[in-house]
Amino acid sequence: MKIAMVGSGYVGLVSGACFADFGHDVVCIDKDQSKIDRLHDGIMPIYEPGLAELVGGNVKAGRLTFTTSLAEGIKGADAIFIAVGTPSRRGDGHADLSFVYAVAKEIGENLANDAVVVTKSTVPVGTGDEVERILKDSGTSHTFSVVSNPEFLREGAAIDDFKRPDRIVIGAEDDFGREIMREVYRPLYLNESPILFTGRRTSELIKYAANAFLATKITFINEMADLCEKVGANVQDVSRGIGMDNRIGPKFLNAGPGYGGSCFPKDTLALLKTAEDYDSPTRIVEAVVQVNESRKRAMGRKVLDALGGADAARGKKVAMLGLTFKPNTDDMRDSPAIAVSQALTDAGVEVAAYDPEGMEQAKPLMPEVTMVDDPYKAIEGADAVTIVTEWDAFRALDFDRIKDLAKEPVLVDLRNIYRAKEMREKGFYYTSIGHGETGQGDRRKGDRRRN
Ligand code: UDX
């Protein structure tokens, strides 16, 4: 099989490299000359565990090549994937499809053989119909079929998600599309990965429905966490207690500072927009978006409370550990850390931050924050330390050293990495998410014991 992947960003590059690893002949295409040059030199445009090795190995084996020329890259391809960005359009939250449509037009103008054109980018319902219309309008004489094949890749675990998927969703309207896609995914088919064949519009909606549901699950447990703090309950046990019910399942029930990233915030907004366009309100998703937005800001207030309240916080110093929206990525898009640091600097707090991979991307997003290259440097002279992202590097911190370096032994753990009892024994004022059993304590009242 020959596969062309148009767009060598996160999704395109991971998918292209994995297809090559299955034994297909893959060309990754991108307009960005410097990105292609760097890929030729083995330099990855993103941080993703295992990707450099996977790309390198398949380039060496001659199965994976890169080009800036779409016309060259799609020549002879059985399947042409569109994996370009669909960012939120400024103002209305609608997915910006201009890149997808521009690529569809270029494919139509350069198609040199019969091929299946596959949208891998996350696109609203009906986009496949429009891509089909654009291809028809290009006047191509070749037979083509437009298929939807959404990605379900988690950053940091993308290669594993691609190779061992819970399911593959293929939305096709004809046999040509279905047959080629079956061949493309044959290695996984043999692996017994479930493949769902459905209609194109249904497939497009499945992607949004999946992400909106996961965002709902997270938001639900986050609200339960708030309630736990009020009623004196433990949200981690609530998660376990409900997650053991097979109908609910244990995953995506970790309470935290709110979801971020390149998908959930953008896709929930795009789903709302589709619902509005079709006059079919999705009120649950509306609430999820609102609750998550206000939660990120509320996390900033939680840190201020640990400093003794907004008034007392002015002029104090906070060490932020972790900036990316989750560990094992350098992605800062919609990271809760942005809202937390904003709330702190707005209140006149000085913030020093450390993140293992995200600091380059974080700098322009939080210009008032001082970035340092070691967690303990951030902690020096701090009145409070807050863990915003659960990187492994923060799971076994040296608390004796922290006590020596920090001005006050205060830890605000927004990812529930540590246990309140142990932290208290170490002499810390410790506050986390959704632990009300022992009371969160109130720094404004000078309460350091009941935490
Ligand atoms: C997500 C989807 O999981 C993936 O299938 C999709 O196609 C792309 O979007 P990703 O954005 O990489 O992947 O990250 P994910 O692991 O899903 O986490 C998203 C956000 O939710 C993060 O900010 C994470 O910290 C948060 N989260 C996740 C929680 O707060 N609690 C959880 O239990 C799980």
Whose Cα sits closest to atom 22 in ligand 1? 259
Assess if residue 221 is contained within a domain: yes
Same structural domain, 39 and 129? yes
Assess if residue 346 is contained within a domain: yes
Same structural domain, 433 and 310? yes
DSSP code at position 89: P
* Mean pLDDT computed over 147-165: 95
Cα–ligand 1 centroid distance for 55 (angstroms): 24
Assess if residue 68 is contained within a domain: yes
Note down the domain range covering 192.
Answer: 2-198
Q: Is the CB of 153 under 6 A from ligand 1?
A: yes
End position of a domain, from candidates 290, 308, 343: 290
Q: Is the CB of 152 under 6 A from ligand 1?
A: yes
Cα–ligand 1 centroid distance for 154 (angstroms): 7
Q: pLDDT tens, 84-94?
A: 998 877 777 78
Q: Which residue has the higher pLDDT, 451 or 181?
A: 181
Assess if residue 203 is contained within a domain: no
pLDDT at 438: 57
Same structural domain, 347 and 308? yes
pLDDT at 443: 54
Assess if residue 451 is contained within a domain: no
Give residue 164's Cα distance to chain centre: 18
Catalytic residue, chosen from 18, 28, 228, 263, is 263
Assess if residue 213 is contained within a domain: yes
Same structural domain, 366 and 269? no
Nearest to 97 by CA among 112, 105, 106, 87: 87
**Count: domains in the chain:** 3
Q: Distance between CA 408 and CA 308 in Å, rounded? A: 12
263 as an active site residue: the answer is yes
Q: CATH code at 407?
A: 3.40.50.720
Assess if residue 244 is contained within a domain: yes
Question: Sorting pLDDT into bands at 50, 70 and 90, what band is 234?
Answer: very high
Residue 236 in this model has a pLDDT that exceeds 50: yes
Q: Is the CB of 151 under 6 A from ligand 1?
A: yes
Residue 147 in this model has a pLDDT that exceeds 80: yes
Same structural domain, 126 and 153? yes
Same structural domain, 277 and 351? no
Same structural domain, 67 and 187? yes
Q: Is 87 helix (H, G, I), strand (E, B) or coil?
A: coil
Q: Is the CB of 155 under 6 A from ligand 1?
A: yes
End position of a domain, from candidates 198, 226, 258: 198
Burial of residue 419, with CB atoms counted within 10 A of its CB: 0-12 exposed, 13-18 middle, 19 or more buried:
middle
Same structural domain, 42 and 139? yes
Determine which helix (DSSP H) or strand (DSSP E) holds 170, and give its type and residue range.
strand 168-171
Q: CATH code at 240?
A: 1.10.1040.10
Same structural domain, 219 and 333? no
Name which of 84-93, 175-184, 251-260 the model is least confident about: 84-93
pLDDT at 192: 85
End position of a domain, from candidates 273, 290, 307: 290
pLDDT at 337: 98
Q: Is the CB of 350 under 6 A from ligand 1?
A: no
Same structural domain, 29 and 150? yes
Q: Average pLDDT over the chain, rounded to whole?
A: 95
* Mean pLDDT computed over 333-360: 97
Residue 445 in this model has a pLDDT that exceeds 50: no
Same structural domain, 75 and 149? yes
Same structural domain, 392 and 440? yes
DSSP string of 426-448, one letter each residue: TT-EEE-SSB-TT----GGGT--
Assess if residue 39 is contained within a domain: yes
Cα–ligand 1 centroid distance for 402 (angstroms): 30
Question: Sorting pLDDT into bands at 50, 70 and 90, what band is 450?
Answer: very low
Whose Cα sits closest to atom 15 in ligand 1? 154
Question: Sorting pLDDT into bands at 50, 70 and 90, what band is 191?
Answer: confident
